[in-house]
Amino acid sequence: GYVGVLTLGIKNETEHEFILEKNSRIAQIVFSKVYGKADNYSGKYQGGRIR
């Protein structure tokens, strides 16, 4: 699986200003159990750094 810091970007695509206050809850992540065999993650973001 993935190991490292998870970094997400956010962009306001509207014409209206939006103030994002400290500690605002703006995202949700869902983890699901994988049954059976799965390949190891080998993407360029492994470890939180781009290879």
Please state the domain count of the chain: 1
In a domain, 47, yes or no: no
pLDDT for position 49: 64
Contact status, residue 42 vs residue 1, Cβ threshold 8 Å? no
pLDDT tens across 1-51, in order? 677 777 888 899 999 998 989 998 988 889 888 898 877 777 777 666 665
Instruction: Give buried/exposed letters for 23-41 (b at 16+ CB in 10 A, else e).
Output: eeeeeeeeeeeeeeeeeee
- Amino acid found at 40: N
Q: What is the pTM of this model?
A: 0.40
Which domain range does residue 15 map to?
Answer: 1-35
Q: Which residue has the tokens 């962009």?
A: 11
